[in-house]
């Protein structure tokens, strides 16, 4: 696999709702994979809380462990993965990662079913600590694969979709996420309580196989190989080139700072929401799936509407407005004590969350040369994930220990441990939205009102990067 430069994509002869054949296939594979991932994620949370850590005071920490296992590969593997993604063929990288993830998840299914009696363990089962460790290990390794898959997919979208239609492409991909949030919880929770975790794990393994088949028939644009004998920098040298480019980009640095602020609160929401349902909303855990489904319905509506909205007002405005709105809504969510208003709030959170995802990818591709996409993602995601890991760990620790018995009243309004943490998380998201509003003023993508003919952030370095990457040396 060699570094390469894409030939210009010829304009499509006829407009298509799914843009072109290649993107239609990518869209289909993403739809299958997203549904499998949603079923898998909900099943893991239910498996840990209802089986492995059921009734244990450390259950919040056990759930946090799943989230940390999913986040650590972004820190440990993501930076170097970005270098290799920039070197390798994007479609082949995605195929390899889908195959590996299918195998990993399939290996977890027998543990959930206790299909095999182990001769060296009492009762033929792994001890609880080993079962949790196996879950964490599979999540960790599968997420390592994702560190190669995700930036490769973003670069592939840049190859097969012209810039003026990338917001539309991003919106279409968000519809797959929305559908997975609607359908996934409706399947995952009943399936878990009726048949256990095995079937959900099997479905996710098959979803990776479906994504693999869709990618197999994609035909991206022809690539030009580098000149014979072209010098390749070291891995650290190429990583340094990506870090240097990122640090010089005002837009990318704004996205990074905004993401860190938001994720310092977002991790707490992911870690504790399952406990918020029972303790604050006074609702059986079986309703957890309904909350996810309503969020997904909002995300689906947002994907359909906000992609059009983003093209009219601009991706940057869509991004900061969505973040600010989510922050305010989450502060409202933290004060709720009943299921019905929580469903309403989460519906609109889903709408705005789609706006973030629709806008982010096109903005990154707009200011990043193709040869640096993997390394830019390798800077952006690990730093944001570090903030998320810290948030997850801190939230799980506080809810389990320091704030476990916390109760207070502010102007007659009672405060408990989880809603206090959620209020802080919402406030952080609102601050992130205000910062992005100020820092991204004036940014326009191709096809948006007032857009320039070419991006401004990387014009001076795009042609130079492939020839002379900057070394990673402190000066």
In a domain, 5, yes or no: no
Residue 415, strand partner residues: 408
Give Cβ neighbours of residue 150 (< 8 Å, ≥ 6 apart). 377, 381
* Whether the Cβ atoms of residue 271 and residue 418 lie closer than 8 Å to each other: no
In a domain, 185, yes or no: yes
Number of domains the chain is built from: 1
What is the model's pLDDT at position 451? Answer: 62
* Whether the Cβ atoms of residue 226 and residue 466 lie closer than 8 Å to each other: yes
Question: pLDDT digit string (tens) for 114-165?
Answer: 545 555 555 556 677 777 888 889 889 999 999 999 889 988 998 898 888 8
In a domain, 408, yes or no: yes
Question: pLDDT digit string (tens) for 39-51?
Answer: 888 888 888 877 7
Alpha carbons 221 and 292: distance in angstroms, whole number: 38
In a domain, 4, yes or no: no
The residue range of the domain holding 280 is: 17-219+232-439
Measure CA of the first residue to CA of the last residue in the chain; give whole Å.
Answer: 33
In angstroms, how far is CA 121 from the centroid of its own chain? 38
In a domain, 289, yes or no: yes
Alpha carbons 416 and 408: distance in angstroms, whole number: 7
In a domain, 454, yes or no: no
What is the model's pLDDT at position 450? Answer: 65
What is the model's pLDDT at position 3? Answer: 43
In a domain, 455, yes or no: no
Residue 281 has what DSSP assignment? S
pLDDT at 467 over 60: no
Alpha carbons 376 and 371: distance in angstroms, whole number: 10
In a domain, 287, yes or no: yes
Question: pLDDT digit string (tens) for 176-230?
Answer: 877 887 787 777 777 888 777 787 788 888 888 999 999 999 988 865 555 544 4
CATH number assigned to the domain comprising residue 109 = 1.20.1250.20
* Whether the Cβ atoms of residue 418 and residue 269 lie closer than 8 Å to each other: no
């Amino acid at each position: 696999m060699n570094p390469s430069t894409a030939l210009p994509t010829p304009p499509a002869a006829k407009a298509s709702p799914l843009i072109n054949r290649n993107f239609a296939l990518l869209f289909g594979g993403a739809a299958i994979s997203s549904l499998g991932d949603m079923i898998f994620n909900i099943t893991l949370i239910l498996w840990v809380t209802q089986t492995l850590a059921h009734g244990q005071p450390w259950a919040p920490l056990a759930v946090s462990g799943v989230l940390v296992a999913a986040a650590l590969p972004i820190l440990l593997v993501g930076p170097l993965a970005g270098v290799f993604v920039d070197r390798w063929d994007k479609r082949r990288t995605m195929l390899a990662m889908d195959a590996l993830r299918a195998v990993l998840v399939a290996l977890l299914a027998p543990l959930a079913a206790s299909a095999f009696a182990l001769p060296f363990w009492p009762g033929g089962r792994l001890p609880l600590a080993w079962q949790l460790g196996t879950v964490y290990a599979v999540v960790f390794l599968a997420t390592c694969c994702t560190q190669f898959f995700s930036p490769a997919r973003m670069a592939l979208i840049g190859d097969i979709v012209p810039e003026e239609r990338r917001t539309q492409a991003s919106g279409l991909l968000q519809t797959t996420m929305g559908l997975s949030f609607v359908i996934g919880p409706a399947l995952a929770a009943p399936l878990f309580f009726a048949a256990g975790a095995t079937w959900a794990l099997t479905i996710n393994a098959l979803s990776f196989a479906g994504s693999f088949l869709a990618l197999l028939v994609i035909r991206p644009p022809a690539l030009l190989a580098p000149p014979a004998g072209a010098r390749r920098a070291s891995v650290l040298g190429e990583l340094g080139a990506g870090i240097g480019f990122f640090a010089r980009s005002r837009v990318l640095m704004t996205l990074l700072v905004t993401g860190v602020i938001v994720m310092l609160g977002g991790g707490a929401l992911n870690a504790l929401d399952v406990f918020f349902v029972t303790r604050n909303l006074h609702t059986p855990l079986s309703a957890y799936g309904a909350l996810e489904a309503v969020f997904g319905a909002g995300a689906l509506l947002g994907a359909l509407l906000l992609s059009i909205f983003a093209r009219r007002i601009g991706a940057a405005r869509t991004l900061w407005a969505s973040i600010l709105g989510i922050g305010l809504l989450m502060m409202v969510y933290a004060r709720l004590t009943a299921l019905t208003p929580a469903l309403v709030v989460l519906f609109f959170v889903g709408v705005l969350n789609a706006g973030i995802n629709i806008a982010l990818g096109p903005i990154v591709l707009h200011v990043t040369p193709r040869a640096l996409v993997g390394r830019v993602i390798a800077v952006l995601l690990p730093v944001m994930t570090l903030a998320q890991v810290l948030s997850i760990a801190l939230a799980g620790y506080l809810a389990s220990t320091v704030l476990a018995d916390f109760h207070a009243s502010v102007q007659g309004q009672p405060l408990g441990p989880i809603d206090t943490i959620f209020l802080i998380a919402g406030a952080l998201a609102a601050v992130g939205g205000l910062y992005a509003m100020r820092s991204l003023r004036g940014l326009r993508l191709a096809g948006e009102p007032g857009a320039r003919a070419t991006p401004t952030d990387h014009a001076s370095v795009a042609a130079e990067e492939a020839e002379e990457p900057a070394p990673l040396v402190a000066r």
